[in-house]
Structure 1
């Protein structure tokens, strides 16, 4: 007899796996690392007695686990690099995902961001997660999330040559009565 969460896991992998991989590529920049990250996120999510009844809810949770696990991996990788530097070992380069045009530029720009900035930018702008929820997921203060998001976004804009339009913030809005609105 299948466990209650198994059909949700099966449907999630069958229907949404490519999207999960695409999301993971944004925070890891290599396809192989993205696949490992998605597998880790799925195991972490469903090994803890997940109680998801809908695929969409499970996908959203797994997407957030992907980002938090990527930050953890970046921290571990940084510690490993320091240890390797102390022992004079050289890391072996990994293969990159072959992307074209803007995709390649965006992934490269994201890869150049520090891990916390990258995680905040992905959660806030790509996953549309609130500042409060991002802070909770990453174990940061809301102010730190705002700072990392702003700094990461600014670095991405600079790297990609993007500009933002300045909008007049002093737009005057006046409420008018129904009769007055009908006359105009």
Structure 2
């Protein structure tokens, strides 16, 4: 296990299929690499604290608006057989919340990547998306999965809920203005 680790993810914009994606219709979404979330985890001697724009203090005292994050962190620690691991976690996000850019999914993806990095464990894309969905189910109730798929992607996504999650090969040098 490392003493420090980070995880990153990205904001998303939906090119088309904004609302219909929840109902199984296709969508294309694009990760916005310059609008990112970075999670930094540092092992400490005692406690579990979090620092973010919405809360600063012990994870056990987080309010309900961060319930999804708390549940995800506990699940991650349990999966690594380290529920009492003392750490300090800092979330730095450039993603505006409540603007349709996938802030909660981006945070969840960065958290999962950060903890897998800390424990030096391999992480498949399917495992990453399943874990991010833990937070998204709590925060949104019926997420399509598009936000987490895009926040974790290195390419645009062609997406149909529970059916298709494909990265689209895209070369910006192919664009002509």
Q: TM-score, normalising length from structure 1?
A: 0.33
The structure with the greater share of residues assigned to helix is 1
Q: TM-score, normalising length from structure 2?
A: 0.34
Which has the greater radius of gyration?
A: 1
The structure with the greater share of residues assigned to strand is 2
